[in-house]
Chains A and B, each alone.
Chain A
Amino acid sequence: MTRKIELYGRLRDAGFGASLTVDIPPSATCREALASLKPVLRQQLHGCVLASNDEILSPGDKLPSGRLALLPPVCGG
């Protein structure tokens, strides 16, 4: 199954634009999704988490069906 993953912050300059797509099984966990991104983003993945519109996702969570975002360390304010 192909999933679109939105990119933010420094990930926008990783060469993929605002999002990238990966093939992930529908029942995959966030841990598995992050592992599938590792060969693509390599060291850029360090410190990143997946998130839905509503919350930060834990590694053991199943991927939600809606928007999926990959968030690097934050520095708002």
Chain B
Amino acid sequence: MIIVTKSRLDPAALDRAVTSRKHGAVASFVGTVRSPHAGRVVTAVSYDCFAPLAEKELARIKSAAERRWPVTVAVAHRTGRLKVGEASVAIAAGSGHRAEAFEACRFVIEEIKHRLPVWKKEHYAKGEGRWLPGCALRRRK
């Protein structure tokens, strides 16, 4: 399951997608919009996304995790304007044992941070919004 959507995320649906009789573990990660950040009161975050490439990159990240560990991964990323507390990203990894489920979950969120074509602009209670700095992209072999 790979989802890039403007709609509210459903982390429980991701958990169900990776749950299996063979799996003794399901590890989940949910990233949410926070406030304050860097000393400023955040009211919302806008997520911009180059969707066609983002969907392909998520599929590549999922495949890389499933090659590296005996896991099944589901992942979803939200786009558009989110309020504080709303989920921006959700990941679930199901596996026979907890260690690989935790490791795969961590791997997927770190890869998302470094290579998914998504950008966020914070909106504040006072003053202009700001695009957050990030990681420069490069082609991966």
B124 contacts A by Cβ under 8 Å: no
A contact face: mostly helix, strand, loop, or mixed: loop
B77 near A: Cβ within 8 Å? yes
Tell which of B54, B77, B135, B138 touches A75, judged by Cβ atoms closer than 8 Å: B135
By beta carbon, the residue of chain B nearest A51 is B53
Tell me whether A75 and B119 are in contact (CB under 8 A). Answer: yes
A34 contacts B by Cβ under 8 Å: no
Q: How far is the CA of A68 from the CA of B120 in the complex (A)?
A: 21
Interface magnitude class on chain A = 20 to 34
Q: How far is the CA of A67 from the CA of B53 in the complex (A)?
A: 11
CB nearest to B140 among chain A residues: A56
Q: Decide if A57 touches B134 in the complex (CB within 8 Å).
A: no
Q: Contact at B117–A77, with CB atoms within 8 Å?
A: no
Residues on A with C-beta less than 8 A from B119 are 8-10, 72, 74-76
Count chain A CB atoms within 10 A of each CB in B53, B54, B140 and give the residue with the most. B53
